[in-house]
Amino acid sequence: MYKELKSYTSKIKSYHMPGHKNGKISLINEPFLVDVTEVEGTDDLHHATGIIDTLQKQISNIYHSYRTFLLINGSTSGLLAAVAAVTKPEDKVIIGRNCHKSVYNSVMLGKLNVAYLLPDYDLEYQFYKGVNSKELVTSISKRENIKAVVITSPTYEGIVSEIELISEAAHSNGAVLIVDEAHGAHYIFNEYLPNSAIRQGADIVVQSTHKTLPCMTQTALLHVSEEAVLSGRVNINKLQKYLSVYQSSSPSYVLMSSIEKGVKYMIEHEIKFEKLILETKNLISSYNQRQNKYGHWLSGNKVDITRLTYLINKKTGITGWQLAKVLRKQHKIQVELACEHHIIGIVTIADSVQDVNILMDAIDISMSNLVSNKTNTEHEFSTNKIHVKDVLRELPKVQYSIYETTYLDSEKVVLKKAISRVAKEFVIPYPPGIPVIVPGEVFTLELCNKLEDFMINGHEIYGIIEGEVQVIRKV
């Protein structure tokens, strides 16, 4: 494995996480020298009173939180702990349908009653946008005693939600607002980026430092706001208890050191980072003004400019999957995500504006070649096909709660025979890790067709093995 990984990083240009970009910024050159355990002088993550406690307080000051906790099991552990800390079994929660699978797992583990909040949706390019605060007000007004609201902001495409308005809606109804800001750990370091949710009224914010900072994979942060603690909405002791439950009892000092080094690097190179942001913003603006016939870059006031989301002109008949394959094969470029109508690249402090130019030029060349070589029998976006149907915006019928399905027997069936059957497991295209069907929900013809289309185009899908899915066994 090691040999293959070394080969990959030496040959491929990364426009994906982690933020150090294949070691372009390597802050821990001798990891074994800091790979220690809990002995005198090294402190203990689960009962921090020494060097770890000092580091957490330093990062808390930087991010303007009341308390900050280091996470070495990724944002997943932070989200699981956050939900568990503010709920008890049978409590009601509202979560964004585009939440990461870890949020769904928290619902299952906590035996919670869940209602889903549908974010705004881009019908043309088929991806979720931000959560509309009015939708939350409508949803929460229909239900009593909502304990928590969990949303994702920014989205995988870099679109942020109306956090201030959403927090007001949640708090006015006595609910805790938890924001999965996994892709926004860099926001605090420049004013031209969106404002972090921790500064807009969110109670708990979870960020993956490895995604956008020069930190190692699995590193993350959990922030708690002052108002959340003073108001009694969040109990710090209970939160710490669940952080210990969901994090390793042998925490990696290498990963914790990586967080320290990564955050420090961002502070020391703020001018470099701002230069990259402004130059990238100008490049995207100039590109879009030229009205390229192949596509354009997602932009706007609610969009993170370091998230390079390229939207393909549907008239070309070219998919994001096709474009990503050509970029990888012919240009040695690996993007973060490819979907039917767009691709996503990530630019971090490890990159330069030249890297952005390289990606733009490679896309133009690849699109030109793809369009020129396209035959009439290739991918067409016909109104008779499933491509234009807004499947992912429609919530499947719920037959059982997520928790109830845990104890029901299951069987495997091929996807075509899953229609009208109840899902036993999550089905999740990955990335971005957003479930299209949840345990207890009913498969539809449209959803099965969409999943088959994903598989044909080589999209990795968790929950489908050799064309089969797990469904509840009929009695």
Q: Are residues 352 and 445 in the same domain?
A: no
In a domain, 3, yes or no: no
CA distances (Å), 12 to each of 4, 9, 184, 319, in order?
Answer: 12, 6, 25, 22
Q: Kindly report the backbone phi and psi dihedral angles of residue 168, in degrees, each rounded to the nearest multiple of 5, phi listed first.
A: -65, -40
Mean pLDDT over all residues of the chain? 93
Percent of the chain with pLDDT over 70: 95
Q: Are residues 220 and 72 in the same domain?
A: yes
Q: Are residues 170 and 106 in the same domain?
A: yes
**How confident is the model at residue 291, as a pLDDT?**
85
Q: Are residues 413 and 366 in the same domain?
A: no
Percent of the chain with pLDDT over 90: 84
- For residue 384, pLDDT over 50 is answered with no
pLDDT tens digits, 129-167? 999 999 999 999 888 899 999 999 999 999 999 999 999
pLDDT tens digits, 397-446? 999 999 999 999 999 999 999 999 999 999 988 766 678 899 999 999 98
For residues 451-457, average pLDDT: 83
Token pair listed for 63? 């991010």
**How confident is the model at residue 118, as a pLDDT?**
87
Q: Are residues 356 and 420 in the same domain?
A: no
**How confident is the model at residue 269, as a pLDDT?**
98
d(CA 331, CA 334): 9
- Classified as helix, coil or strand, 334 is strand
pLDDT tens digits, 171-194? 999 999 999 999 999 999 999 999
Q: Locate all alpha helices (DSSP H) within 351-468, ordered by sequence.
A: 353-373, 402-405, 445-456
pLDDT tens digits, 99-129? 998 999 999 999 999 999 989 888 888 888 9
d(CA 444, CA 402): 18
Q: Which domain holds residue 340?
A: 270-373
For residues 92-98, average pLDDT: 95
Residue 406: CATH number of its domain: 3.90.100.10
Q: Are residues 198 and 289 in the same domain?
A: no
In three state form, how does the secondary structure of 21-35 look? CCCCCCCCCCHHHCC
Q: Are residues 261 and 275 in the same domain?
A: no
Q: At what angle do helices 320-331 and 353-373 cross, to 10 degrees?
A: 110
The residue out of 241, 268, 295 marking a domain boundary is 268
pLDDT tens digits, 15-46? 999 999 999 999 999 999 999 999 999 999 99
Per the document, the length of the chain is 475
**DSSP E strand boundaries for 153-197:** 176-180
Q: Are residues 264 and 393 in the same domain?
A: no
**How confident is the model at residue 390, as a pLDDT?**
43
Residue 382 pLDDT grade (very low, low, confident, very high; cuts 50, 70, 90): very low
Q: Are residues 225 and 236 in the same domain?
A: yes
Q: Are residues 107 and 196 in the same domain?
A: yes
**How confident is the model at residue 16, as a pLDDT?**
97
Residue 54: CATH number of its domain: 3.40.640.10
Please state the pTM of the whole predicted model. Answer: 0.92
d(CA 35, CA 251): 10
In a domain, 189, yes or no: yes
- For residue 217, pLDDT over 60 is answered with yes
pLDDT tens digits, 322-373? 999 999 999 999 999 998 899 999 999 999 999 999 999 999 999 999 999 9
